[in-house]
Amino acid sequence: MNMRRAFYIGRFQPFHLGHYSIINSIARDVDELVIGIGSAQKSHEPRNPFTAGERVMMIRHALEDADTTHYAIPIEDLQRNAVWVSHIISMTPPFDIVYSNNPLVIQLFREVGIEVRQPPMYHRNNGYSGREIRRRMIANEDWKSLVPPAVADVIEEIDGVGRMKQISKTDID
Amino acid sequence: MNMRRAFYIGRFQPFHLGHYSIINSIARDVDELVIGIGSAQKSHEPRNPFTAGERVMMIRHALEDADTTHYAIPIEDLQRNAVWVSHIISMTPPFDIVYSNNPLVIQLFREVGIEVRQPPMYHRNNGYSGREIRRRMIANEDWKSLVPPAVADVIEEIDGVGRMKQISKTDID
Amino acid sequence: MNMRRAFYIGRFQPFHLGHYSIINSIARDVDELVIGIGSAQKSHEPRNPFTAGERVMMIRHALEDADTTHYAIPIEDLQRNAVWVSHIISMTPPFDIVYSNNPLVIQLFREVGIEVRQPPMYHRNNGYSGREIRRRMIANEDWKSLVPPAVADVIEEIDGVGRMKQISKTDID
Amino acid sequence: MNMRRAFYIGRFQPFHLGHYSIINSIARDVDELVIGIGSAQKSHEPRNPFTAGERVMMIRHALEDADTTHYAIPIEDLQRNAVWVSHIISMTPPFDIVYSNNPLVIQLFREVGIEVRQPPMYHRNNGYSGREIRRRMIANEDWKSLVPPAVADVIEEIDGVGRMKQISKTDID
Amino acid sequence: MNMRRAFYIGRFQPFHLGHYSIINSIARDVDELVIGIGSAQKSHEPRNPFTAGERVMMIRHALEDADTTHYAIPIEDLQRNAVWVSHIISMTPPFDIVYSNNPLVIQLFREVGIEVRQPPMYHRNNGYSGREIRRRMIANEDWKSLVPPAVADVIEEIDGVGRMKQISKTDID
Amino acid sequence: MNMRRAFYIGRFQPFHLGHYSIINSIARDVDELVIGIGSAQKSHEPRNPFTAGERVMMIRHALEDADTTHYAIPIEDLQRNAVWVSHIISMTPPFDIVYSNNPLVIQLFREVGIEVRQPPMYHRNNGYSGREIRRRMIANEDWKSLVPPAVADVIEEIDGVGRMKQISKTDID
């Protein structure tokens, strides 16, 4: 099987149109794509509201019509950067190339000699960032235009906005 | 046994008169009270100076004369919000209702369908907060008036103020 | 979306025709199937030779032509049975029903009120068990007839038999 | 407070009349007793069927009429013998003396200079052991005569015998 | 063996001339020195760029010509202050005295009755701090004058400055 | 620095003449030797009686007069074979070659392309094994002739035989 498989990782809190456009652009270069769902053990936190399972749903539904075969794999944090690449490799189908704009991810893969490419990030100018989407959810501003429709459906089904608002309330002590 | 058992959780760093008044108000509605001592594995930190064992002592001595049966149970953090409720349930006698003002605790229990009530928090106006008490310990201001006398005794016995001051010194690097 | 989604978990060391026939039989009753890859953090052990990523590959390739949508999700052990069901739920798309013949899995899901069905296990009579396959690999006996052809390919690509033999050698001390 | 506090630890799977008689004999020598519930994170295993919370219930109900003040504290395993004594000390009210017949517990406390006494174990001759009770539960033999009546009540309430039988079924692979 | 052995702990990110001068001053008072490399599991973080192994190299090379026997021991964090001293003791040769200026380290050892001395810290006035060195690496300022030549060699060999710069880039989300 | 550095790992429970002769034979081929002390977090178990710190002492004293520079580094278990090599690499100075007779260690290093050599094991015929030494300690048979004199001294200083006997007593339940 002389196919080309790429790895792309994110926290996807939530999966948005920026991720979607990056994946589409990667898909043009490879046969299969492994999507790592980082910090899989985290949820119900202001920066990480959604569970890994909910994020698997978002990704699978958003990419339903994509031509490229993709694998959505939850990856738990190990809190040990020096073994992180091995951890990724053990949890995923083998890949030839990594796409990432995260400086640490780039450094870790390069140190072990794996090729890393940086996908274009034009989309951040347009608010396509998890942080911005989470802020809008709390502020009752429009966030649905920043995610694929299938993701908005998943978030509504689980009342993700209600959860986001509740866990963002401050508590003292 | 047709009894009503409630669950109430806090870090109790330290146990103060605000906690005491909440427990008294809960006690009027239930037969037994399970008191979860959160972040049980933490101690000797500016925000968490006391060990779980020291906090068990504070609670047991402060509630010595209470009529309601109570259980003081240390609960270690799992760092996985999605399994936290199951973790609580596995460590405690079964309960019917949760009392909490913590937004995350409220969300987590409600998502699995357990009733949560919010006890009145009038006391925070009066300085009854762990943060304020820890600040006063370091600043040599009066803190004893904010805790039950039995708690002040426990803290003195272990030289809790000395510990508080020492671990709050800043270190660089 | 009024669809019916089932959950089925195994260690898949390796994925064999017994698993394959169970999945086919489950597929007749549901719309989607979540396949949990248990003990995901284990590999290179006599009972657990393959990594989670290798097992994802086996499953995806073996089910390439299946009609039912399936999700292959690595699940790491938490070593806490009491929170295991919550852990599963947090890592997977939501499901209505569990298929399992593992007595502990059955007990844990039933205690929280989730329906469990036991798929037929006729295949064990025919040697379709991970233990038997691993034994044959070491003994140079035929094992390929017990797994889907795609799984045999994956195992050959990674020299799984060589690994199996090497890690099964005994060491003293 | 010139009181004498003892520490006694067990897994209490389940709490039985042997434990009960040891505690009564310790109680004659001390003012307060801290009961550590070991391997608190384990449950639903053939050797550890009951959760920590269920064991807290057993102990509290069985000792309801005891004169000595006691604390029942769940203690999670750390899997590091060298720090185990510190872990115990951090989770419990301070104690002067340890009662144990477990060779490792005796060694660990003695190495740090804490006095350990070995309570009489006459009861094991009479079947008062967790292993024997668990065996009888599975074999449909009488086990209730080996535990305090309050413990039998707790086990019945949670259908502990049903759980014990189910998780003891063997599974291959 | 009537020798005097001391313990000194740091993160050594990186090992610098301040550490070097402290170790020289301790060496005058003791026969052997155990150097604990704290947060051993951390690396590739802005505050902790170097692995434990890299830090072992720095220390061993920098002290090559020292007369005092020293042991460089990686110490992983346990995230439980109450057992930290036991953890240290279990990982190191026995010592009589601790040298530290870290307020928490001082408190933890003193609580268990181990003598702690505070070495002079005159050097911080001169920029001999890990934070300052890491800042200079990123800013392309002179940092080599703050570390022993052998440490500069190790850092160059692994392109530590390149790593430092890369992992310090900010990423959003 | 064009030097050749080797890695050798063992549990060293305790360090014995078999280890000593292997190290001497490796030393002829390399400039420096990194000695990994495996299962560093374990102690006070029948198979792992000694702490990592005690094992560091044994190794350093036994090799006091060796010409080859050596590093004794405690290595904690991660319970994840797939990341074990990365873990080793992160905790140790860089090495070119591994010496091991452990089948799993050989497999793990070879899978990532690191050269492994198997040192001669003639010594096991002569009782030079940890298991045999631990057995003799309990049975009051001669064990000192199997370890370097410096190791016998360390074990005596900590009453290692007393510990070995105590923790080997059986306990029921």
pLDDT digits (tens, 9 = 90+) for A116-147: 999 887 666 678 999 999 999 999 999 999 99
B19-56 pLDDT, tens digit each: 999 999 999 999 999 999 999 999 999 999 999 999 99
**Closest CA in chain D for residue E82:** D90
Share of chain E above pLDDT 70, in %: 95
Tell which CATH architecture fits domain C5-167: 3-Layer(aba) Sandwich (3.40)
C36 has a pLDDT exceeding 70: yes
Reference E38, options E7, E6, E73, E62; nearest CA is E73
Cross-chain residue pair E81–B45, CB shorter than 8 Å: yes
F contacts of E74 (beta carbons < 8 Å): 73-74, 91
Nearest chain D Cα distance for residue C114, angstroms: 16
Interval B104-108 mean pLDDT = 97
The tens digit of pLDDT for each residue in A16-35 reads: 999 999 999 999 999 999 99
Neighbours of chain B (3+ CB pairs under 8 A): A, C, D, E
* pTM for this prediction: 0.95
Nearest to A81 among E44, E171, E173 (CB): E44
B93 and D52 within 8 Å at the Cβ level: the answer is no
Chain F: partners with 3+ C-beta pairs within 8 Å: A, C, D, E
Q: Count how many pairs of residues, chain A against chain C, have C-beta atoms within 8 Å.
A: 58
D vs E, Cβ pairs < 8 A, gives: 24
Distance from CA of C1 to the nearest CA of D (A): 35
Q: Which residues in chain F are closer than 8 Å to D131, comparing Cβ atoms?
A: 172-173
Q: With pLDDT > 90 as the criterion, what percentage of chain F qualifies?
A: 87
Distance from C-alpha of D146 to C-alpha of D20, rounded to nearest angstrom: 10
Check CB contact under 8 Å for B56 and D92.
yes
Under the phi-then-psi rule, with left for phi > 0, alpha for psi from -120 to 50, and beta for the rest, what region is E113? Answer: left
> B89 to chain D: which residues are within 8 Å by CB?
51, 53
Q: Does D114 touch chain E (CB under 8 A)?
A: no
Q: Which residues of B touch C88 (CB under 8 A)?
A: none
Residue B158 has pLDDT above 80, yes or no: yes
Packing angle of the helix pair E103-111, E81-91 (nearest 10 deg): 80
Residue E173: pLDDT band (50, 70, 90) is: low
SS3 letters for B23-71?
A: HHHHHCCCCEEEEEECCCCCCCECCECCCHHHHHHHHHHHCCCCCCEEE
User: F16: which 2 tokens?
Assistant: 């014995």
Are the Cβ atoms of C172 and F129 closer than 8 angstroms?
yes
Among A81, A102, A130, whose Cβ lies nearest the Cβ of E45? A81
Asked whether A37 and A59 are in contact (CB, 8 A), the reply is yes
Q: Is the peptide bond preceding residue D120 cis, with omega within 30 degrees of 0?
A: no
DSSP chain D: ----EEEEEE--TT--HHHHHHHHHHHTT-SEEEEEE-STT--SBTTB-S-HHHHHHHHHHHTTT-SSEEEEEE----S-HHHHHHHHHHHS---SEEE---HHHHHHHHHTT-EEE----GGGGGT-SHHHHHHHHHTT---GGGS-HHHHHHHHHTTHHHHHHHHHS----
Chain F hits for C163, CB-CB cut-off 8 Å, are 107, 111
Is A82 in CB contact (< 8 Å) with chain F? yes
D56·B93 Cβ contact <8 A: yes
Q: Using CB atoms within 10 A of its CB, is residue A142 exposed (0-12), middle (13-18) or buried (19+)?
A: exposed
Q: Which residue has the higher pLDDT, A100 or F122?
A: A100
In sequence order, what are the residues at sequence separation of 6 or more whose Cβ sits closer than 8 angstroms to the Cβ of residue D118? Answer: D99, D100, D101, D106
Nearest-by-CA chain E residue for F157: E1
The CA angle B90-E87-C76, to the nearest 5 degrees, is 40
Cα–Cα distance, D65 to F171 (Å, whole number): 30
**And the tokens for C67?**
């009609």
Q: Provide ipTM, 2 decimals.
A: 0.94
Say whether F82 and A87 touch across the interface (CB within 8 A).
yes
Concatenated DSSP letters of B101-145: --HHHHHHHHHTT-EEE----GGGGGT-SHHHHHHHHHTT---GG
CB-based contact, A40 to chain C, within 8 Å: yes
Mean pLDDT value across residues D134-145: 98
Nearest chain C residue (CA) to F133: C173
> What is the separation of C-alpha F98 from the centre of its chain, rounded to a whole number of angstroms?
14
Q: Is the pLDDT of residue F1 over 60?
A: no
Q: From CA F70, how far away is CA F23, in angstroms rounded?
A: 10
What is the per-residue pLDDT for F69? 92
**pLDDT given for residue E121 in this prediction:** 73
DSSP secondary structure string for all residues of F80-149:
-HHHHHHHHHHHS---SEEE---HHHHHHHHHTT-EEE----GGGGGT-SHHHHHHHHHTT---GGGS-H
> Which sequence spans correspond to the domains of chain F?
5-167
